[in-house]
Amino acid sequence: NAGVMQNPRHLVRRRGQEARLRCSPMKGHSHVYWYRQLPEEGLKFMVYLQKENIIDESGMPKERFSAEFPKEGPSILRIQQVVRGDSAAYFCASSPRSLQGESSYNEQFFGPGTRLTVL
C-alpha cells in the first residue's frame, strides 16, 4: 500500500514564477491537508480539502495561494508569483476520514514533502 506521494520533491523557481505542488493521498483516503514548514520552524496548517471541496483554508495566505482536490487526480497546491519568503518545505497529509477517537488509524499520514526554493 503506497504512502502519500508528493511531487516534485524539489522545485526551484525564480521570483514571479508559478509553483505547482502535487499530492496523491494514500489509497482509500479522501481527506487531504497541506502544511508548510519554514526554516527552523514547526509545520503550520494551511488548508484542508475533501474531494472537490475546500473545508478550511484559514491557514493559507489570502493572495497568490490556492488549493484544489479534484474528483480525479492529485491535490494541487498552487503558488502564483512566488517570492523568496515562499521558500519552505510543503507537506501534504491524508487521512481516511475526519479524525475521531484515538485510533492511530485515524491519524494524518504525511508525504515526504516538496522543498521549494525561490531564487
Partner 1 sequence: DQQVKQNSPSLSVQEGRISILNCDYTNSMFDYFLWYKKYPAEGPTFLISISSIKDKNEDGRFTVFLNKSAKHLSLHIVPSQPGDSAVYFCAARGSGGSNYKLTFGKGTLLTVNP
Site residues (CB under 8 A) for partner 1? 4, 6, 9, 31, 33, 35, 40-45, 48, 55-56, 59, 91, 93, 95, 98-100, 102, 104, 107-113
Residue 68, CB half-sphere, CA atoms under 13 Å: how many?
8
The helix or strand, by DSSP H or E, that contains position 37, with its residue range, turns out to be strand 31-37
Minimum distance of partner 1 from residue 111's CB (angstroms): 5
17 vs 68 by CB, closer to partner 1: 68
CB 35 within 8 A of CB 44: yes
3 vs 17 by CB, closer to partner 1: 3
1 vs 100 by CB, closer to partner 1: 100
17 vs 109 by CB, closer to partner 1: 109
Distance between CA atoms of residues 101 and 40, nearest Å: 31
Minimum distance of partner 1 from residue 15's CB (angstroms): 25
Instruction: Residue 97: name the closest of 25, 34, 45, 47 by CA.
Output: 25
